[in-house]
């Protein structure tokens, strides 16, 4: 009454390639996704995920457009969590 196929099959999602990714490969892929999300969030801070906004804050010293983007990101974080009021 035992099912031999059920014993041999591993649980979980199958690997995308020949073998599962190593921890370093997974982390590298995560960093690439975060960098892409931060780049896509520039100019669209209101719908950007928090992690992308925080990445934008980290780039504040690289250039003037990056500084302006970081200001918009900080304003959006403040708006979301209620600690910054924006008056224009």
Q: Does the structure show a pLDDT above 80 at 7?
A: no
Q: What confidence tier does 80 reach under pLDDT thresholds 50, 70, 90? A: very high
| pLDDT above 70 as % of the chain | 86
Going by the DSSP 8-state scheme, the letter that residue 63 receives in this structure is -
49 Cβ contact partners less than 8 Å away, ≥ 6 residues apart: 37, 41
- What CA–CA distance (Å, rounded) separates 31 from 25? 10
């Amino acid at each position: 009454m035992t099912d031999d196929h059920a014993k041999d099959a591993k649980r979980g999602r199958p690997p995308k390639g020949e073998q599962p990714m190593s921890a370093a490969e997974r982390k590298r892929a995560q960093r690439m996704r975060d960098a892409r999300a931060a780049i896509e969030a520039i100019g669209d801070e209101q719908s950007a995920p928090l992690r992308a906004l925080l990445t934008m804050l980290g780039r504040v010293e690289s250039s003037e457009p990056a500084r302006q983007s970081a200001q918009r990101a900080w304003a959006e974080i403040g708006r979301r969590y209620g600690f910054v009021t924006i008056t224009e």
